[in-house]
Structure 1
Amino acid sequence: MNILVIGTGYVGTTTALVFAEMGWNVTGLDTDAQKIQQLEKGVLYFYEPGLEELLRKHLGTGQIRFTTNKDKAIQEHEAIFICVGTPSRPDGGADMRYVKQVAEDIGQTMNGYKLVITKSTVPVGTQEQVTGWIQAVQKGSFPFDVASNPEFLREGKALEDALNPDRVIIGTNSKRAENLLRTLYRSIKCPIVVTAPRTAELIKYASNAFLATKISYMNELARLCDQLGVNIIEVANGIGLDPRIGTSFLQAGIGYGGSCFPKDVSALIFAAKQNHIELSILGKVVNVNQTQPLYLLDKARERLKSFANKKVAVLGLAFKPDTDDMREAPALRIIDRLLSEQAKVYAYDPVAKLPADVQYESVASCMALEDAVQGADAVFLCTEWPVFQKVDWTKMKGIMNRPNLFDGRNLLDSDEMNAIGFFYQGIGYE
């Protein structure tokens, strides 16, 4: 069975390469000719460990190819994965224009049975919408199925997650579609959960919203720890040993970001409102996350009195390590506020680069960490890149104007930093 993946963004490219690794012949389709040209050359246009090597491997084996010819691609493939973006609208709902366009392209072009699989994160009821969009434009009475197969990829760990998933969710009422999807995933060893399409669609949103809730809970609890003189890291260790809670997503910091959690939480809140339900807990989750970077800034302001004309180094731009994704990154909120208070901002990240945006023209993007720290009055550590733990902080203290370090990820050891001579401030951790 040949697989077509429509959309060669982060999810689409990863999906395509993993199916190629599993032995299937895969085609990646995109309307962006520049992306396709880069992928055909073996160049990954975003950062994700291990993925570029896999791209070059399967370009060599012939298991994967790329195209912009949508009509030919749709006609030549039986299994079609929809992996286009569903960005947030201003009202918080998911923008479905790209999914709708793909559905209509399939309906207008199909020449036989097609299994259409939505892997994009989509609102509950999308399977029915996609079915309707295809039917509305069909030029012949060709049979097809639409199934939901949400992804659960962690940026920075996408290849590991895709090759060794903890579960595969299949949302379909069609036995034919179920059997075909089971065939596609036959080499994967994990539970396969078959549900109704609406259930599969909600599982994706519910999963991300729950993880976001754990993060915001710990971040809000860290604020109390600061007042009580309690170490949030020790609290997390203590409660994480309870198997009902677990150890993951208990790390306090300056909040979550990325392409999934902010968008998916907003979309779930929007869906609830559309159905006259208030998800009040998620509303608080969003509020805590939006204010958490400002909480660390308040701590820094107490120390520095003012940011005006102070040189401030921001270390880490990506929303998490092992990615160059800066969408909704807490570091950008910190930079925006520092700029608004007339700070002189110097930024460094091992991989991510600031966008070519007018608002960041006044930020000095540094090629080396030392360049950002040299002469600084304060350092904000915003991404928990492991390389920051290996820095010679004694040397960094020597080149700073004032040794103030505000650790937004509780990455460094407070006792060690204080012993070096830093004023060290973490989140719920001093």
Structure 2
Amino acid sequence: MVITVIGGGYVGLVTAVCLSHLGHSLHIIDIDINKVSAINRADPIIYEYGLTEYLKKLVGNSLTASTSFDLVGRSDVILIAVGTPSNPDGSANLSYLIAAAETIADELSKNHKNYPIIVVKSTVPPGTTKNIVEPIIRKKNPDLSFGICMNPEFLREGRAIEDFLHPDRIVIGGSDPQTIRVMHDLYKDIDAPIIDVDPTAAEMIKYASNALLATKISFANEIGNLCKQLGINVYEVMKGVGMDSRVSPKFLNAGAGFGGSCFPKDVSALAFIAKNHGVEPSLLNAVLAVNDLQPLRMIDLLENKIGSLSGKRIAVLGLAFKDNTDDVRESRSILVIEELFRKNAVPVLFDPMAMDTMKTVFPDAEYTDSAASALCDADGCLVMTEWPEFAKLDKEFDAMKERVIIDGRHILTIDDAEGICW
């Protein structure tokens, strides 16, 4: 098929690369010329494991990128993969999605294939595909026969290509049988169960999935906080809980909490949707509250050990919200660094991959070129990201004034590190 992806960001680029790898002809459209140029050089501005290698094989063959929307009218399938960031009240900002839909409508009014399929990949509130995107296309093209679909992504940063090519399931929220048939054909070479639902249910599946995973993390953290007070190993507890086939051990990870571009944003948006429809989102609010307090507990533990943080050098190891990515969006490190500055401490920052992205958040902070450099003469250390290289640290901590180490990710193997929940 000839497929156009609107949006060359994380979801759009990974989706385009994987569909191109499966044999489809892909064109990425993005208004950011720097992003487009980077894609066409096979040198993406985001880091994702394996992405550059795939791009080098595909760019110029079955995958291209540009700022022009001309190819929309020549596409069998048009995927919308633009951002839906949070508004200050927690609701999803749909301005990019609406702009993309309006541009697609304009292009289809000039030229179109027989029965084009417009697919929303962006995470959007239930009803958006049918009540916003479809009417925008229809208003400009009243006589056009087209399909509409909501096809959510379930990609983990750092493992996105693997997740796309080997998913647990594929959710297709097609508007009609022809759209559903085309979408099944799109994914025919992927061995995974396909769930056919209506677009609104597909939108809710995405939100509910992320909310449940976030809930598991906050649950593990709350139990972990209690276990710490009782002198119980929370990881033994969660192992025992997770072995129940009704539960699963995945995401029962006590620690500094969740971040990234999805969980905080999507739980907040779902809570807003619930409240807007007269349902009090007590559980969702609690999930967010636990998550925001968890990294601050690390500061409390540090103060209990070394007293006032004013003037103290504190090594912060790990800036990305998780390992294998340079993404710092909603990283728990941000809350910790802000609190350290508020207490007049001197944060000394290191991450093997996310230094440049964090510099856009804290341009005036002190950055070092290695974990060892960050630890040199530090009064304390906070481990915020589960990078495998941090697990190997030991003698490097001897360069600290005292080995005062708070591990927020249960990754260190040394005996004198204190865990946030253990």
TM tier, smaller: over 0.9
**Structure 2 residue corresponding to 1:182, chosen from 181, 184, 205:** 184
SS at match of 2:335: helix
AA aligned to 1:68 is T
AA aligned to 1:197 is P
1:400: Cα distance to partner?
A: 1.1
AA aligned to 1:374 is C
Matching of residues 163-202 of structure 1 within 5 Å: 163-202=165-204
Contact persistence 1:47–1:323 (CA under 8 A)? yes
**Aligned residue number for residue 67 of structure 1:** 66
Q: Using the alignment, how far apart are the partners of 2:80 and 2:363 within structure 1? A: 37
**Aligned residue number for residue 331 of structure 1:** 333
Q: Using the alignment, how far apart are the partners of 1:222 and 1:362 within structure 2? A: 34
Contact persistence 1:354–1:360 (CA under 8 A)? no
SS at match of 2:65: strand
Contact persistence 1:354–1:365 (CA under 8 A)? no
**Structure 2 residue corresponding to 1:425, chosen from 401, 418, 421:** 418
TM-score by length of 2: 0.97
RMSD: 1.3
**Structure 1 residue corresponding to 2:106, chosen from 108, 114, 123:** 108
Matching of residues 150-161 of structure 1 within 5 Å: 150-161=152-163
Q: Using the alignment, how far apart are the partners of 1:361 and 1:119 within structure 2? A: 33
1:354: Cα distance to partner?
A: 5.0
SS at match of 1:360: coil
**Structure 1 residue corresponding to 2:76, chosen from 61, 68, 78:** 78
Contact persistence 2:7–2:29 (CA under 8 A)? yes
Deviations 1:100-124 (A, max 9, x none): 1111111111123320000010110
Q: Does 1:265 align with 2:267?
A: yes
AA aligned to 2:169 is R
1:144: Cα distance to partner?
A: 1.1
Q: Using the alignment, how far apart are the partners of 1:359 and 1:31 within structure 2? A: 23
**Aligned residue number for residue 139 of structure 2:** 136
Deviations 1:194-242 (A, max 9, x none): 0011110000000000000000001011110111111111111111111
Matching of residues 26-41 of structure 1 within 5 Å: 26-41=26-41
Q: Using the alignment, how far apart are the partners of 1:365 and 1:397 within structure 2? A: 17
1:281: Cα distance to partner?
A: 0.7
Contact persistence 2:319–2:358 (CA under 8 A)? no
Matching of residues 8-407 of structure 1 within 5 Å: 8-59=8-59, 62-70=61-69, 72-110=70-108, 111-112=111-112, 113-128=115-130, 129-138=132-141, 141-353=143-355, 355=357, 360-391=362-393, 393-394=394-395, 396-407=396-407
1:398: Cα distance to partner?
A: 2.5
**Aligned residue number for residue 409 of structure 1:** 409
Q: Which moved more, 1:263-272 or 1:358-367?
A: 358-367
1:358: Cα distance to partner?
A: 8.2
Q: Using the alignment, how far apart are the partners of 1:264 and 1:399 within structure 2? A: 41
Cα gap change, 1:115 to 1:336, in 2 (>3 Å): same
Q: Which moved more, 1:248-257 or 1:362-371?
A: 362-371
Q: Using the alignment, how far apart are the partners of 1:89 and 1:136 within structure 2? A: 27
1:278: Cα distance to partner?
A: 1.2
1:397: Cα distance to partner?
A: 2.9
TM-score by length of 1: 0.95
1:94: Cα distance to partner?
A: 0.6
SS at match of 2:93: coil
Deviations 1:288-319 (A, max 9, x none): 00110011111111111111111110000000
Deviations 1:253-299 (A, max 9, x none): 11100000000001111111111111211110000001100111111
Cα gap change, 1:41 to 1:354, in 2 (>3 Å): closer
Cα gap change, 1:295 to 1:123, in 2 (>3 Å): same
User: Identity percentage over the alignment?
Assistant: 41
1:137: Cα distance to partner?
A: 2.5
Runs of 5+ in structure 2 lacking a partner? none
1:80: Cα distance to partner?
A: 0.3
Deviations 1:150-172 (A, max 9, x none): 00000010010001011000002
1:356: Cα distance to partner?
A: 7.0
Contact persistence 1:230–1:428 (CA under 8 A)? no
AA aligned to 1:29 is I
